[in-house]
Amino acid sequence: MTSYDIVIVGGGPAGLAAAVSAKKAGTDSILIIERDKELGGILNQCIHNGFGLHTFKEELTGPEYAYRFIQQVYDLGIEYKLDTMVMDISTEKVVTAMNRTDGMFQIKAGAVILAMGCRERPRGALNIPGYRPAGIYSAGTAQRLVNMEGYMPGREVVILGSGDIGLIMARRMTFEGAIVKVVAELMPFSGGLKRNIVQCLDDYGIPLKLSHTVVDIEGKERVSAVTIAEVGPDMKPIPGTEERYTCDTLLLSTGLIPENELSRNAGVSINPVTNGPVVNEILETSIPGVFACGNVLHVHDLVDYVSEEATRAGENAAKYVQNGCKDQDGGKIIQLKATDGARYTVPCTINPERMDDLLTVRFRVGAVFKDSYVSVYFDDERVMHKKKRIMAPGEMEQVILQKKKIDEKPDLKTITIKIEAE
């Protein structure tokens, strides 16, 4: 069995940034395993611009952003395997993978970084009534077809869900001559970024219907029409509000699910809110030496934050192997909790002895909050109270915790993040 100090599962933005930072932190034996035929992950099909404003202070397209990291992987001589699928990760960190040239093989890893990303919620998970003809695609599949393979999925399009990929594809297919008739969103607010709603829908007069869902799909061989209807507060369609759109294509942009089959099989604890691993302050999962970062951990809206998070995972994995793969544990564990409108936190626990001077805690809210406060409680004492003009489920929030403030409270057990009206 071959062995590497660090094996990184996934060569997308998270895996690339983790590899680069681990290498720069002094660990040389690193292998990235990527199932696609090239590095870069989902960024390769995200040809629109707007990436990298935080990281590089300029607006790049997805492929350009990816290449900034791919170039570093080349320059640093980091090893990678393409067209290779990881089949299993054991609790002992033996990675089983396969490809056409090597067949099935196993690698013993000192540390593993999970960077598998996420996948789209499929039609089967949505319970949409109607026929099952050709012409129903997840928005990301359509994006790959149009931007990488050079095929148009259809000419007359209805989109269900207002996630960013769906919005981006509304514009993209309009550019390529398709007519996008409507975007229906089940929730009373969009899951996408404001700028995408304006620049992908409003710019081209594409209506966004909030609190609407698909109630029928017609067509036996190919989609011929889609009917949408308004939903009430109970999320059930309201009779009499149906509108029928003739179309040949239905795109689904209804959410992303972290891809954690490998993590689960390895025995990693999963947070039921994020569907990603439970991690501590160093982004380590419930299995010592197995780290997670990027969309496999929780779905991000900006790749810049993925790179930043993955950079920390890479550094921490390097530190772990340089310490002889021993958990430098000891010390107490503080729980992080999200309540009152805050849905989850990443990380879930903090060991103050291991935390950096500043720790970014990311979270999402469960509804739209205007003129509300993000509050942080150390047990029962409120230590942070910050007004935000707007918070929405589609935009990730963060608070920054200071080690010295935590060290002042030796008996601290729980840190709670909540949203308060005043």
Q: Tell me how far CA of residue 236 lies from CA of 211, 214, 240, 254, 393, in angstroms.
A: 10, 11, 12, 17, 21
The answer to the question of residue 228 lying near other proteins (CB under 8 A) is no
Tell me which stretch binds other proteins (CB under 8 A): 25-33, 46-54, 97-105, 224-232.
Answer: 46-54
- Crossing angle of helices 13-24/303-322, nearest 10°? 40
Measured from the CB atom, the residue of 113 and 157 that comes closer to other proteins is 157
Dihedral sign (CA 89, 94, 99, 104): negative
The answer to the question of residue 314 lying near other proteins (CB under 8 A) is no
The dihedral over CA atoms of 127, 133, 134, 139, expressed in degrees to the nearest 10, equals -20
Site string for other proteins, 315-354 (x = CB under 8 A): ----------------------------------------
- Spatial CA neighbour of 293 closest among 6, 92, 37: 6
The answer to the question of residue 83 lying near other proteins (CB under 8 A) is no
The answer to the question of residue 149 lying near other proteins (CB under 8 A) is yes
How far is Cα 89 from Cα 96, in angstroms, rounded to an integer?
6
- Spatial CA neighbour of 18 closest among 89, 95, 96, 115: 115
The answer to the question of residue 58 lying near other proteins (CB under 8 A) is no
Strands 103-114 and 290-292: parallel
The answer to the question of residue 63 lying near other proteins (CB under 8 A) is yes
Q: Which of 103, 124, 150, 410 binds other proteins (CB under 8 A)?
A: 150
Tell me which stretch binds other proteins (CB under 8 A): 40-48, 270-278, 316-324, 349-357.
Answer: 40-48
Assess contact for 419 and 343: CB atoms under 8 A.
no
How far is Cα 18 from Cα 11, in angstroms, rounded to an integer?
10
33-45 in b/e form (b: 16+ CB < 10 A) is bbbbeebbbbbbb
Q: Please calculate the CA angle 392-214-224 and round it to the nearest 5 degrees.
A: 135
Tell me which stretch binds other proteins (CB under 8 A): 58-66, 104-112, 399-407, 411-419.
Answer: 58-66
CB of 45 vs other proteins, minimal distance in Å? 9
The answer to the question of residue 162 lying near other proteins (CB under 8 A) is no
The answer to the question of residue 175 lying near other proteins (CB under 8 A) is yes
Please give the size of the binding site for other proteins, defined by CB under 8 A: 31
Q: Which of 29, 36, 47, 420 binds other proteins (CB under 8 A)?
A: 47
Q: Which residues are CB-contacts of 310 (< 8 A; sequence separation ≥ 6)?
A: 13, 14, 15, 16, 17, 18, 21, 113, 115, 293, 294
Q: Which of 53, 235, 390, 421 binds other proteins (CB under 8 A)?
A: 390
Assess contact for 113 and 6: CB atoms under 8 A.
yes
The answer to the question of residue 275 lying near other proteins (CB under 8 A) is no
The answer to the question of residue 48 lying near other proteins (CB under 8 A) is yes
Tell me which stretch binds other proteins (CB under 8 A): 17-25, 83-91, 98-106, 142-150.
Answer: 142-150
Binding site for other proteins (CB under 8 A): 44, 47-49, 59-61, 63-64, 67, 146-150, 175-176, 193-195, 197-199, 202-203, 389-392, 394-395
